[in-house]
Amino acid sequence: MSTREAVLDLLRENARYSTDDIARMTDLSPEEVEETIAALEDDGVVRAYQAVVDVEKVEPERVHASVELNVTLDRETGYDDIAKRLAKFPEVQTLRLVSGDFDFAMEVEGDSMSDVSRFISEQVAPVPEITQTVTHYIMQTYKERGVEFGDGHDDDRLSVSP
């Protein structure tokens, strides 16, 4: 594994690992770790550092939805153009072009169901290239970005064993 891969691997596991801990785990100097992280950021590989939050615990009323979008393209408008326009809305958390029955998979959030519905009907659906929207309100999140939201796994091993 290259230095870059090793550092990136650790950041993806836990972005709050200190430089010192990353250095110890990878057998690099703290300076090398800092340089590697700076390069990853400069190259646009690492885009941001965010916590994975169980929103249910802090904002139980807030509404999240996953929206399927179908679009038609013409000579002047491609997927990227539509995506750029949609991505500007702060309500849109995630936007991906996908294969299959629809074109874009979009995740949005709002303070209430009517809030999200209004956003879809007044801001998204009127975009001329969008031909259809299907909104799924999220009822429960069990796992996000590789992190399970269960109670976790207790360490039930014997405290000392051969």
Partner 1 sequence: MTFEQSERLETVPPSGIRRFFELAEEYDDIISLGVGEPDFAPPWAARDAAIASLERGQTSYTANRGMRELRERIEGHVAEHYDLSYDADEEILVTTGVSEAVDLAFRAFLDPGDSVAIAQPCYVSYVPGAQLAGAGVVDVPTREADEFKLTRETLEASGAADAELLVICFPNNPTGATMTRAELEPVAEFAREHDLLVLSDEVYADLTYGGEHTSIATLPGMRERTVVFNGFSKAYAMTGLRLGYAMAPPEAIEAMNRIHQYTMLSAPTTAQHAAIEALDTCDPDVAEMRDQYDRRRNFVLSRFADMGIDCFRASGAFYAFPECPRDDSAAFAEALLEEERVAVVPGDVFGAGGEGHLRVSYATGLSQLKEAMNRLESFVD
Considering only 57, 88, 145, 157, the residue that binds partner 1 (CB under 8 A) is 157
Q: Which stretch binds partner 1 (CB under 8 A): 33-41, 88-96, 124-132, 153-161?
A: 153-161
Site string for partner 1, 14-43 (x = CB under 8 A): ---x---x-xxxxx----------------
Distance CA 23, CA 124 (A): 46
Q: Which H or E element spans position 41?
A: helix 30-42
Q: Is 153 in the site for partner 1 (CB under 8 A)?
A: yes
Distance CA 87, CA 94 (A): 8
Distance CA 68, CA 134 (A): 5
Q: Which residues bind partner 1 (CB under 8 A)?
A: 1, 9-10, 17, 21, 23-27, 153, 155, 157-162
